[in-house]
Amino acid sequence: MSDLHARVEETRGILARIARDFSPAVFASSLAAEDMVLTDLILKAGLPIGIFSLETGRLHKETLEVLDKVRDHYGVEIALFRPQPALVEEYVGKNGLNAFYDSVEMRKECCRVRKVEPLGRALAGKKAWITGQRRAQSTTRAELAVQEDDAAHGMAKFNPLADWSEQDVWQYIRDNNVPYNSLHERGYPSIGCEPCTRAIQPGEDIRAGRWWWENPESKECGLHLVDGKLIRIKSVAA
């Protein structure tokens, strides 16, 4: 059995266990390549795991097009959670539309309004959530475990692709004809909001295009942080 085949089988097993033991569980998809692998595995197995995405209001049109690709390919609508208009108006009115370039604090506050608050609504009442994070993606993810105790949201958090490589992800996408964001073909290995993501040069770190004006240690959007601080998420043996 090839390494990838073994990884796929293991990931299928993890997803089936989440569906069985942690219902209701949801998958937070950023619509990036990793998340399309998980989408494919969840939908083809017919698992009762809801899939949602955070529509921040600042996404690339290519990212929004992935929603259409998923609908066409699988006949499934990904649920969208949007920021509260009043909170966006308050932030923009007080700080300006692109204040996130001014400081890490301003950036985290924008992420809080556009991502963290909607995420809280998406996770309400759930027993577990799933992400497409991988260890190899950045220095902040080097110790990522497959299963974590997310104390901030009071539930389990799963990263079923934690030990997948970039090559594994693309091999799976090619082998299974999985739809993906066309920006990946234009130098964007990691994709977030449009004003906070840029293409990278060959050889650069794969998250170098995310919040490129900040240092690597602060490059998380707050979804895995509490009140701006990294939470010590307790790893749980899978």
Binding positions for [4Fe-4S] cluster: 110-111, 193, 196
- The yes or no reply on residue 207 touching ligand SF4 (CB under 6 A) is no
- Residue of the chain from 13, 187, 195, 216 that contacts ligand SF4 (CB under 6 A): 195
Q: Which of 31, 192, 224, 225 binds ligand SF4 (CB under 6 A)?
A: 192
Active site residue 221: yes
Residue 54 interacts with ligand SF4 (CB under 6 A): yes or no: no
Q: What residues have CB less than 8 Å from 74, skipping those under 6 apart?
A: 39, 43
Residue 157's Cβ-count burial label (10 Å; 0-12, 13-18, 19+) is: buried
DSSP state of 197: B
Given the complex with ligand SF4, which of 26 and 110 has the nearer CB atom?
A: 110
- The CB-nearest residue to ligand SF4 is 193
Q: Which of residues 128-187 bind ligand SF4 (CB under 6 A)?
A: none
**What residues numbered 97-136 form the site for ligand SF4, per CB under 6 A?**
100, 107, 110-111, 114-115
Active-site position among 8, 31, 162, 221: 221
Cβ–Cβ under 8 Å, residues 28 and 53: yes
- CA dist., res. 132 & res. 162, Å (int): 8
CB 138 within 8 A of CB 207: yes
Q: SS3 letters for 146-188? A: CEEEECCCCEEEECCCCCCCHHHHHHHHHHCCCCCCHHHHHCC
Positions 19 through 48 that interact with ligand SF4 (CB under 6 A): none
Which chain residues interact with ligand SF4 by CB under 6 A?
56, 58, 100, 107, 110-111, 114-115, 192-193, 195-196, 221
Annotated catalytic residues are 221
